[in-house]
Structure 1
Amino acid sequence: MSDDSTTDHQDPERLFSALWAAHAHRILAYAQRHVGPDLADEVVAETFLVAWRRLADVPGEALPWLLVVARNTVANQRRSGFRRRAVSQELARIVHLVETHPSAETSALERQTVLRALATLSPREREALLLVSWDGLAPGAAAQVAGCSPSAFAMRLSRARTRLRHASAADAPPPDEPVDHSLELQDGRA
């Protein structure tokens, strides 16, 4: 919020609070029109997080600037939703392929355990694991495909592998328990 008041420049919390008080309800109304009440709070939170991080860039006429940030946030959410649906569809396809054409060297129990564990990962973690394990990409190339830095990708891949190991171990039924071949995919968040 650009103005000549030195007090506001010295007190970013007060400046941000005033920004919130003046415009949060308008951003919420905008978000509810575009994403509905379930996701509107997330749009508002993300919009004001950007405003906090870029407080020096917020112009004196803040509402249009905040609405542009909210519009971009809505667009990002839509792209993320599309990617989540695409990953879920791809996982469903993979499950179908595995169940239709079982591998000779992999038992049905192991397949089911791995697929269930894979389904518990967040979409970003699943993508990281599949880019490296399924698509055969090196971590650097996979980071480029995932649209993140190599270090962020390495962390994502490490978390995915750890969570997959824990989920696989926790999901394995006792040896005498019959195997249920129905697998329901779970849609996790990043």
Structure 2
Amino acid sequence: MTAPRHPPPPSPTRAARAFEELYEAEFDVVTSYFARRTSDPQTAADLTADTFVAAITSFATFDRSRGTARGWVLGIARRVFAQHCEATTRGRDVVARIHGRRVLDTDEIADLVTRIDAEREGRELIAAMAALSPADREVIELVDLVGMAPKDAAKVLGMSSGALRIRLFRARGKVRDLASNGGQR
């Protein structure tokens, strides 16, 4: 058996002219193909360019006996668009994983709105606490926000229960003063 004979490849200048003719004949078709699939002009232009880059790199393998140039270029355009969609989806998945976000359903949103509203006083307390020393903030956070018993909070902070109670009393007084003065000292 002898191998099937293929026509010799065109000369470089003839191949360049043939590709130029294909480009001019099919550019609008390929651009329209992408314009129907995206409303972003930059994306349509990029995908069109990617299609013709792929076409020029494989132009030597184009066989007119297997189909038209338009069909061949649109086949490339379909693959370019599929790769674009896959990359876009993969990118969204990566971003979602990085941000740890997922789409919330209506019930979850309503629950979160309720929780956020319920924590309004806690947010105001945290804002007022910003003016306190780090030690005073820790005492208030552990006892008033986390709900630890003062004796347990004292162990966490490495101080006596009596010292913690005095610091807690003074810190609460500072927060009350700050809250009544609108956060001003």
Say which one has the larger Rg. 2
TM-score range, shorter chain: 0.3 to 0.5
TM-score, reference length from structure 2: 0.44
Q: Whose RCO is larger (CA < 8 A, sep 6+)? A: 1
